[in-house]
Amino acid sequence: MKRLNFTLDEDAVDLLNSLADRYYEGNKSRTVRAALESLASHAGHDGWVITGYSPTRLDAEAACHSCGTEYQQGDVLFRPVFERGASPNALQQIPSETWLDCPSCAEERPTA
């Protein structure tokens, strides 16, 4: 975490306080972060992109999100790591369903 010093006019301070109270339980840092992410998305960052993968050992049978191949308990699949960014394959929102890719699909998928 890094501390930044900057000056806001009174209207901006009032808006920040209002948004923080309404949407982020008074957390001004989260409010500023959300505002910056929103600005970035409107300035050419298309959405959520995969920036890497995290290996996951299966607790139960599962299928690869991309190719549909089924895998057994104990096999290792890869969970994508999403971050905001620009890409032709960017998603508008992070998927709510479980997303696991097999080693072949994870290796073939371009990351940001």
pLDDT tens digits, one per residue of 16-35: 999 999 999 999 999 999 98
Q: For residues 10 and 17, what is the distance between their CA atoms, to the nearest angstrom?
A: 11
pLDDT of amino acid 41: 65
Q: For residues 83 and 49, what is the distance between their CA atoms, to the nearest angstrom?
A: 6
Per-residue pLDDT tens for 60-96? 999 999 999 999 999 999 999 999 887 777 888 888 8
Question: Which candidate, 58, 50, 60, 45, places its Cα nearest to that of 105?
Answer: 50
With H, G, I as helix, E, B as strand and everything else as coil, classify residue 58. Answer: coil
pLDDT of amino acid 52: 93
Structure tokens at 32: 């500023």
**pTM attached to this predicted model:** 0.57
